[in-house]
Amino acid sequence: MKNPSLKAVFIFLLILIAPLFSSASEVSKPQIQLANLYHKNINIQNYFVSEKLDGVRAYWNGEKLISREGNIYNAPKWFIKNFPNAHLEGELWIARGEFEQLSGIVRRDRDEAGWENIHFMLFDMPKSKEIFEKRLEEMKILATKSNSKYLQVIEQKRFSSHEELTKHLNEIVKNGGEGLMLHRSTALYEAARNDDLLKLKTFEDDEAIVISHIQGKGKYEGVMGALLVENRDKVRFKIGGGFSDIERKSPPQIGSVITYKFFGKTKNNTPRFASFMRIRHDMKPWIKLTEADL
């Protein structure tokens, strides 16, 4: 540039926008491991078993708490103050049956009092090159050294038979839990979906996008009666159960992602007895709705 004043302005603009690029890289979508469904064609003695917590998945990159979509959770500084300089994966969790309260707290910009009730429950170390059994021991050491009451490791158990596992699952569900997660003890961390990580529930669940609201009739007259949704298989179906009175008055927004549970599928691949579980604020829709979709 021949004009000194223009050159000065250009350099000044570069200084201004540089932090934008660096911060964007810091909150890139984390590469995480995904679970297959549990099946009996495994040696159960090769797995650690933990409760599947009804929480919000989070990734600690050594500096910030990030959602699976790459969004930063606005955790207070005192909450993350003593977290270790390591990549950790876990669930932000309050207690069984408190997902809606938890979701509201982590989505609000300022709710420091609410964070007092939250714990970051660790279940893995994505950047470690060790097998899961050793990663588990390392997480325990890090959590202890941090001296943070907000950082805990999810309890892991071992079982000798599928029958023992089923009994444990039934106890968890009876007491308000969702299900179980199984980690292969000798597996390295791999950001993919495989049998190194399995989930076990008494029902299946999946995500869908809200297409429209269907007005209620009878006792639900004047409020939402059901949702018309579309899942990743491009199957459209109605969900009419699982909603509270408050959720029927203020239903999930059109275009938002929800989680629903079901019990198998029909010949047409439609989920059987689908019912609403929760809104997935941590997930983005995989399709952009147009007028033709509605």
Whose CA is closest to 58, among 135, 147, 119, 139? 119
Q: Which whole number is the average pLDDT over 278-290?
A: 85
Domain boundaries, the chain: 34-201, 204-279
Return the pLDDT at 22.
35
- Residue whose entry in the numeric block shows the structure tokens 């660790």: 122
Contacts of 26 (CB under 8 A, 6+ apart): 61, 63, 64
Which carries the bigger pLDDT value, residue 80 or residue 103?
A: 80
To 10 degrees, the CA torsion angle through 166, 55, 214, 253?
A: -160
> What three-state secondary structure class fits 151?
strand
**For 204-279, CATH number?**
2.40.50.140
Catalytic residues: 52
Q: What is the DSSP letter of 53?
A: -
Q: Which whole number is the average pLDDT over 18-42?
A: 71
Examine the pLDDT at 272 and tell me if it is beyond 70: yes
Return the pLDDT at 26.
46
Per-residue pLDDT of 188-243, as tens digits, reads: 999 999 999 999 998 889 999 999 999 999 999 999 999 999 999 999 999 999 99
Beta carbons of 99 and 54 less than 8 angstroms apart: yes
Return the pLDDT at 18.
39
Specify which residues 154 forms β-bridges with: none
Return the pLDDT at 288.
79
Q: Residue 173: exposed, middle, or buried by beta-carbon count in 10 A (0-12, 13-18, 19+)?
A: middle
Distance CA 103, CA 98 (A): 9
Per-residue pLDDT of 164-194, as tens digits, reads: 999 999 999 999 998 999 999 999 999 999 9
Q: What is the DSSP letter of 252?
A: P
Beta carbons of 287 and 293 less than 8 angstroms apart: yes
Architecture of domain 34-201: 2-Layer Sandwich (3.30)
Q: Which whole number is the average pLDDT over 21-38?
A: 72
Specify which residues 201 forms β-bridges with: 179
Maximum pairwise Cα distance, the chain = 79
Mean pLDDT over the full length of the chain:
89
Return the pLDDT at 282.
84
Per-residue pLDDT of 46-88, as tens digits, reads: 999 999 999 999 999 999 999 988 999 999 999 999 999 999 9
3-state secondary structure 134-166: HHHHHHHHHHHHHCCCCEEECCCECCCCHHHHH
